[in-house]
Chains A and B, each alone.
Chain A
Amino acid sequence: EAGVAQSPRYKIIEKRQSVAFWCNPISGHATLYWYQQILGQGPKLLIQFQNNGVVDDSQLPKDRFSAERLKGVDSTLKIQPAKLEDSAVYLCASSQAGSGGSDTQYFGPGTRLTVL
């Protein structure tokens, strides 16, 4: 079974630029999560989708961050404009929760963003 795919793996941008991350969850997983992990800390949830609807975006800085999950499969997370403090690893995870299965979350490898 293929795991959660993310791209790119690394991205370096200058502050005030825009950036987008892409995630392809495990096939059949209804729930998709985006987490932000700052160096030395545990991951923090940014947004959670169930199918193509938002379940929780309370920690998403909506003035600069946006996310969508069209058709309930792939998802993109965008930052516009980026700030220095956005430097982090952005992790995507998926689970079967919402489709009758386990809610164990499976994580992708992450995208490491460096904002200069």
Chain B
Amino acid sequence: DAKTTQPTSMDCAEGRAANLPCNHSTISGNEYVYWYRQIHSQGPQYIIHGLKNNETNEMASLIITEDRKSSTLILPHATLRDTAVYYCIVRVTPRIIQGAQKLVFGQGTRLTINP
């Protein structure tokens, strides 16, 4: 079962920052927070992941609260192409060769960017 809670839908104006919240109050100490998104008729696309420090890459920023019970994905300048379903997932990331954990997807947040 998914271990995260996300709003069902959100709207954001083009050019503004989109802030997508995620609650993961039962997260364990060795679990990372992952974000994927799925644009219509495409497979999910990896965005970013983090453990406890804030992370930033070319796509987005991830802000994780100090108690790690929630996080926010930030798309700094949303475009129409960012319209998608965004999934927040918690999982262990093995750093040794010992197989990989499956992704357990919830319902995600349907983000609509409006012109």
Binding site for B on A (CB under 8 A): 4, 31, 33, 41-45, 48, 50, 55-56, 91, 93, 95, 97-100, 103-110
Contact = CB atoms under 8 A, between A and B. Distances in A.
A47 to B, nearest CB: 10
Contacts of A109: 41-43
Contact of B87 (A42, A93, A104): A42
A47 B103 CA distance: 12
Contacts of A44: 105
Given A42-B107, A42-B108, A43-B105, A107 B44 contact: yes
B94 interface: yes
B46 A48 contact: no
B103 A43 contact: yes
A91 B105 contact: no
